[in-house]
Amino acid sequence: MHIAFLGCGFIAGVHSRHLKALRDDVVRSYASRDGSKAEACCRRYLGAGSYDSYTAAIEDPAVDAVVIAVPPRFHLDLTLQALAADKHVLVEKPAYLRMEDYERVRTARDRAGRVVLVGENDHYKPLAICLRRLLREGVIGEMVFAHFTTLVKRFKRADDWRNDKTMAGGDAFFEEGIHWLHLANSLGPVMTEARGFQPAASRDGSDTRIKSMMVAFRYDNSAVGALFYSREVPSLLRGLRVSKLFGRAGIISFESNGAVVLVRGPGVPRLVLPGFRDMRGYQAMYRDFLGAIHEDRAPEMSLETAMADQRLMDQIYATAEPATPAVTA
C-alpha cells in the first residue's frame, strides 16, 4: 500500500507518526506546491519520495491512496481529482464546505468504486468508544440530558490560515468544533435538531475568528442537550474540561480529553479508564481506512456519516447570529 500525503503542514506530521506506528510496511510519500518543503517532510518522516505538486502525486500510478491534509478550501477539488485517478481518499475534517460538495464527492466515489474516509479521528478515540459502550449497556438508564463542554483559551497566530474564512470554510466552531458536534451525535441517540447561539464576538489580538458557540439540540429519543465551545475562555486546570450525560438511573461524567470516566448508576460509583494508547484515535482511524480498502467496505467515518454532521452544522449556522455587544452610557 502506497499512501501519498497532499500537504506537508503540522497535521500531515501527526498523521505520519501515527500511521508509521501502526503499520511500518505502508509506503508514505509527500507532496507540496513547494518541492523543497515536500523533500524536507519526506526526510523528517522517513518517506519513500516527494512530489513538487499535488497533481504529480495523484497521477503517480504507484500511489494507491491519498491523505488530503491542506486547508478545507482545497479539499473538494483534490478529492475529485484523486477519485478520477482511481485513488482512495482520506480527507481531513471538516471535509467540505457545503452539502452540495458532499453530494458531488459521493457521486464521484460511487462512480470510481473507491473508499473515502473523513478524517474525524475523535470518532475512533477510546473515550468515544467507551461512551458508546456505556450507553448501549444502559448504565444510566434512559438518557435525559447531555452536557458537553470544550473551553480553552488558545489563540491562533495572525498568519494562521484559520484566520481566513475563505481557507477554513468558517469560524472556529466550523473548523474545529466539528469534533465535538460529531462526538455528541455519535454516541447512539441521533440528533434531530440543533440551534446555535453565539455570544458577542471579540476580535482583539492576532486571532480574528469568532471563537465561541453554544449549541442546543434534541435527540431522537427525546433527550435534550447543550454543547459549549470556546477558544477564548480559560478552562479549569489548563485543559481539564468535564462533560456529563444524565440518565434516569445515573450520570456519566467524563474528562473531555479522554483520561477518565466516572459512572454513577445503580450500585457503587466506578471509575473507568478508556485507555491511553492511541488516545486521539488516529491509529484506529487508519486501521479502519486500510481495512475498508482491503475488505471493499465502507469505513465507519464514511461520507454519509459526515453528511449527517454537516446537516446539523447547517442548522446551527442558519440559526446562530453573534450577539451585539451592549453599549454603556
Dihedral sign, Cα of residue 9, residue 12, residue 18, residue 20: negative
Relative orientation angle of helices 10-22 and 35-44, to the nearest 10 degrees: 40
246-279 pLDDT, tens per residue? 999 999 999 888 889 999 988 878 999 999 899 9
More confident residue, 158 or 299: 299
Residue 11 maps to a domain:
yes
Domain limits at 224? Answer: 123-280+313-319
Task: Determine the Cα–Cα distance for residues 154 and 324; give it in Å rounded to an integer.
Answer: 23
Other residues' Cβ atoms within 10 Å of the Cβ of residue 21 = 12
Q: Which residues pair with 3 in a beta bridge?
A: 28, 65
Query: E strands, 46-171, where?
Result: 49-51, 65-68, 88-92, 116-119, 143-151
pLDDT band (50, 70, 90) for residue 205: low
Residue 139 maps to a domain:
yes
Within 13 A of 16's CA, how many CA atoms are on the CB side?
24
Check whether residue 154 and residue 88 sit in a common domain: no
What is the pTM for the complete model shown? Answer: 0.93
Check whether residue 99 and residue 233 sit in a common domain: no
Check whether residue 269 and residue 150 sit in a common domain: yes
Check whether residue 91 and residue 139 sit in a common domain: no
31-41 pLDDT, tens per residue? 999 999 999 99
Residue 266 maps to a domain:
yes
Q: What are phi and psi of 270, to 5 degrees?
A: -135, 150
Check whether residue 143 and residue 242 sit in a common domain: yes
Within 13 A of 238's CA, how many CA atoms are on the CB side?
0
Residue pair 188/136 in contact (Cβ under 8 Å)? The answer is yes
User: What CATH number is given to the structural domain containing 29?
Assistant: 3.40.50.720
